[in-house]
Chains A and B, each alone.
Chain A
């Protein structure tokens, strides 16, 4: 169980049930498809049965003639393509002339009922000319006259190539006592959130639309939709209702959102669209299928001396977040240990398959598996304890990594030490009977991307706080609560600073008309960035209240320190963090000699107080309205080389797992018995939430480790259902022990860092390393299915050798 250190806070660090959980448990929380608009049309999408084809003709006349059909859209109706990254806008709302993956939209129908819409789809006549598809990364690298995206003028299907090299690789490998190298392969996996994609669009009669959508990125959807529909952004309002899980799978703008908005505008009717589970799998955007060869040099004295990798990631038909994924496959290996000499080469390829994109642990998960398995191999070869070795290599606080990431807080050493103690690591590792094993692995992740996707100088997050005449606090944020509890986190910030109970903070979030911009729920950015913005808005509000109290008490208001980046704050290249005007400075102290609690604002020094409501009334007397904003913008960070911006974050999280397994050598079945986790998320703001994130990451990591894989046959999805795409149940989930692990991040809100993604990656190699400890095989392909265990056991011919 996560526990927070006692720092005298009233709400921060306390287990707070998530806002909305009562509505959810009563069935009253409205998700996108639960909204009932007036007389909506239902949209159904016709999807290509072919992975690679030209559309020779498309006849929609019979469909349009069907009674009850109000409109049909095809690729010709959309001029502009889109994509979440400004440098990769390659996806059409509906395929035009060419289809690039099985399941790609080729037409859409809006009709009075779902039944009519489905019948109309059958009446659309499409003539396809089948073309030769490309279904794997290696083939995609070869020159071709017919690339998926000829507009790139590349002569092959390479989407993105990144090579970065730091230090001297040859020297690094020379300095090593042991060099280990292996090829690793990873299946593509799906987010498998429970709520299928859904969108509803409400029109007024003045050219405005309100788009209710299951999205993690209302702001990016807002921008993309305006561009695709060629209407001003102010005509579009994006609202994210309750959302049934995202994990990165709802962090792109989607074709169905564009289709729905266009139908609503063209037809003057409210519309709705919801995916079947099959459509969710066809749309995919999951983790990239990966083929990776990694080489690691290790010295007994110096630790890792060099790390090099060559990687192919299969991107599918379109870009999505792929360029970022390409970088993340390399750069996120710069922690949790020092890698002095480092080279990576990653190619992302276009293939005729559903596109891949961001998924929890984005880009960092597969290379982490490889590096942690290799490190385990190196330790075994030189006879060093793999847990102790890791412990000694973890970054120190205030470190600059080889690729110039500024690592501030690191709390993992205590956590891993405690995990070793609790699991009796020393007594177990290498000493358990055949079939039983224990393994360790560590991880490292960003707390938000320091750089925005759309290059501008606006804050990455802004929060607005108002206080009404009745003392009620309302917090407005564009951040999307996708079930992770960000609304609760934002409210905790404000409640702590303003001395209010949680019930007095009402959160309005993820509505582009009423809430200020937040870039969205991706890259584990919300706690750090929106959290800071909320804290800053609350501090500004506190100052107004305290000044009003001083006026009532006839006292001098407190003197506040001017924000300033301290000189001893970590620097590089002569630079120091350049905080913009109006920023309160990193993690500003808000102590002002007053205590706000139980409805009173009390001067500690003078032991005099006014009621909170008196102060509110006084403040309103000055302003008429009580409103403040708070912002967050990352300090300037990073080196000046090409690609230096990738993976830059104001702070990084650290994770360690010790996993205990039982491997049945007869069936090849791996059972994870226990997972002990230490995750340094800085200050755990809400232990209940942090627990939930850790247990959820274990579930998802376990799935990728043991059973999950998207299966394709010539581009055709073979398992687009929950029966065929297996995810772990309560029976597979191990016993979980969460050990205390924290740091106090100098810039995180109340010292906090991310807790949502970084946890996922290291459990997978920890399982693999435990399997090695159990039965002596090194598994290098995910998922670690029983058949792979059995063939590895047969190959190594080690069965029984250890007993």
Chain B
């Protein structure tokens, strides 16, 4: 067991963990941040995506130790209190959420895309949401939500 300190959503956590522990297990089991999901445990479904230093990473195939000293943002760190991020808001409004199991990862990837690319093409939006398996929606409504969030974020920037 090693003592490992990770900064998650701006808060520092120190836990005694085995070197083999994944970042996903650290988040879910040690810190109790269960918003990040485990759909396959092998980096295939994307449901475990979190932001590490501003970049989406698959936390189920990343060791917790690898995240030491880096900024981790999980789905719990996206909204500001009750104020949803435009991506979250659009997902709710556009009916882009059914079972919701892929939703946190879709949001993480969407926020990353729109923070870095205010005017993504259809292709870029598709690429972004292809990072995560969604079995409910057929992706159409998620695409719509991303475009709508992008639009809203552009307006806010101009205001």
Contacts and interface: CB of A to CB of B under 8 A. Distances in A.
Interface stretch (B64-72, B113-121, B130-138, B151-159): B130-138
Contacts of A733: 138-140
B134 A692 contact: no
B11 interface: no
Interface in A709-725: 721-723
Interface string A11-50: 0000101101110111111110110100000000000000
B136 A692 contact: yes
B93 A17 contact: yes
B93 A277 contact: no
Contacts of A24: 97, 100, 103-104
Tell me which of A195, A698, A730 has the highest count of chain B C-beta atoms within 10 A of its own C-beta. Answer: A730
A30 B34 contact: yes
Contact of B45 (A34, A194, A692, A695): A194
Contacts of B98: 18, 245, 483-485, 692, 696
A25 B125 CA distance: 18
A36 B32 contact: yes
Nearest to A721: B44
Contact of B134 (A36, A194, A277): A194
Given A22-B92, A277-B40, A699-B138, A730 B99 contact: no
Contacts of B91: 21, 25
Interface in B64-101: 74-76, 78-79, 84, 88, 91-95, 97-101
Contacts of A31: 34, 37, 101
Interface string A727-755: 10111010010000000000000000000
A20 B104 CA distance: 13
Nearest to B132: A194
A695 B130 contact: no
Given A25-B84, A194-B39, A729 B135 contact: no
A280 to B, nearest CB: 9
A94 to B, nearest CB: 23
A27 B76 contact: yes
Interface residues on A, range: 35 or more
B59 interface: no
A691 interface: yes
Between B37, B74, B125, the greatest number of chain A beta carbons within 10 A of the residue's beta carbon is seen for B37
A17 B101 contact: no
B150 interface: no
B102 interface: yes
B97 A194 contact: no
A692 B99 contact: no
B8 interface: no
A774 to B, nearest CB: 23
A691 B136 CA distance: 11
Interface in B22-50: 28, 32-42, 44-45, 47
A25 B103 contact: yes
A696 B95 contact: no
Contacts of B76: 26-28
Contact of A21 (B18, B44, B79, B92): B92
Nearest to A738: B140
B139 A699 contact: yes
A696 B38 contact: no
Given A31-B37, A277-B40, A25 B139 contact: no
A277 B142 CA distance: 24
Interface of A: 15, 17-18, 20-22, 24-31, 33-34, 36, 115, 191-196, 242-245, 247, 274, 276-277, 482-485, 688-689, 691-692, 695-700, 721-723, 727, 729-731, 733, 736
Given A24-B100, A25-B91, A194-B47, 11 more contacts: A21-B97, A26-B35, A28-B35, A36-B32, A193-B101, A277-B39, A483-B98, A692-B98, A692-B141, A698-B138, A730-B142
17 contacts: A17-B92, A26-B88, A27-B74, A31-B37, A115-B18, A194-B99, A194-B135, A195-B39, A195-B99, A483-B99, A483-B136, A688-B95, A692-B137, A700-B138, A721-B42, A722-B40, A727-B135
Sort A-B residue pairs by CB-CB distance and give the 4 closest, nearest first: A27-B35, A483-B99, A244-B101, A24-B100
Interface of B: 18, 28, 32-42, 44-45, 47, 74-76, 78-79, 84, 88, 91-95, 97-104, 107, 125-126, 129-130, 133-143
